[in-house]
A and B are shown apart, each in its own frame.
Chain A
Amino acid sequence: DTAVSQTPKYLVTQMGNDKSIKCEQNLGHDTMYWYKQDSKKFLKIMFSYNNKELIINETVPNRFSPKSPDKAHLNLHINSLELGDSAVYFCASSQAWRIGGTGNYGYTFGSGTRLTVV
């Protein structure tokens, strides 16, 4: 099936640990994103990569580091996890945005990774 897939779906870990969330898309999209959804359902962008190049880097702690080995993958590594990092993390992808170009312009989202830090 063509989709954006994230692993793991659930992640429970202790404070201070380091963890990674993986994301892969087989839609042929050039751009990938990480969003964080807090307990009040608010969605905030964290990072965006276009063809392995970082194009959006919001104000997030530098404990969060994205890595894009190729345009189909965007992984999120988190160091020294804190209680406040507990949230649902969504990966998404879209076709490349080009000025004056055509495209779907919508994002395709993964099903999310629920991270709980205890």
Chain B
Amino acid sequence: AQSVTQLDSQVPVFEEAPVELRCNYSSSVSVYLFWYVQYPNQGLQLLLKYLSGSTLVKGINGFEAEFNKSQTSFHLRKPSVHISDTAEYFCAVKASGSSASKIIFGSGTRLSIRP
């Protein structure tokens, strides 16, 4: 079975400052990793995903994440945040190679941007 831990439930950051949202996962098999964003009163939107290949993955809105297999981490970063980045961010994991496995979500990190 897989699990995801998002270490920070809330991250307050000043506008134009860099941010890192932490995500660690646990799995006995190879995994695919995802970051989703949920803006207030909206559904989830895929930010980026790691399937294979380069460990540095670039997504939408200037976000990127790095897959670190030895540390079982997939932290999300952005060099300069904007007010519009205020949202809930979810890290997620799925066992690769299985047609029936489900995506497991972390508990979410609320990113709040201060002007």
Instruction: Known A43-B90, A106-B46; judge A48-B32 contact (CB<8 A).
Output: no
Residue of A whose beta carbon sits closest to that of B38: A41
Instruction: Known A42-B107, A42-B108, A56-B102; judge A99-B97 contact (CB<8 A).
Output: yes
Distance (Å) between the CB of B59 and the closest chain A CB? 11
Q: Is B84 an interface residue (CB 8 A)?
A: no
Residues of chain A within 8 A (CB-CB) of B43 are 4, 90, 109-112
> 16 extra interchain contacts, Cβ-Cβ under 8 A, other than A98-B99, A99-B97?
A42-B105, A42-B108, A43-B44, A45-B102, A48-B102, A50-B100, A56-B102, A105-B51, A105-B94, A107-B46, A108-B46, A109-B36, A109-B43, A109-B45, A110-B43, A112-B43
Distance (Å) between the CB of B3 and the closest chain A CB? 13
Give the size of the chain A interface in residues (CB under 8 angstroms): 28
- Which of B49, B88, B102 lies in contact with A106, CB distance below 8 A? B49
Residues of chain B within 8 A (CB-CB) of A55 are 100
Binding site for B on A (CB under 8 A): 4, 33, 35, 40-45, 48, 50, 55-56, 90, 92, 96-100, 105-112
Whether A99 lies near B99 (C-beta < 8 A) is yes
Residue of A whose beta carbon sits closest to that of B32: A105
7 closest Cβ contacts across the A-B interface? A109-B43, A43-B105, A97-B99, A109-B44, A106-B46, A111-B43, A41-B108
Whether A41 lies near B42 (C-beta < 8 A) is no
Q: Is B28 an interface residue (CB 8 A)?
A: no
Residue of A whose beta carbon sits closest to that of B101: A97
Whether A107 lies near B103 (C-beta < 8 A) is yes
Q: How far is the CA of A106 from the CA of B105 in the complex (A)?
A: 12
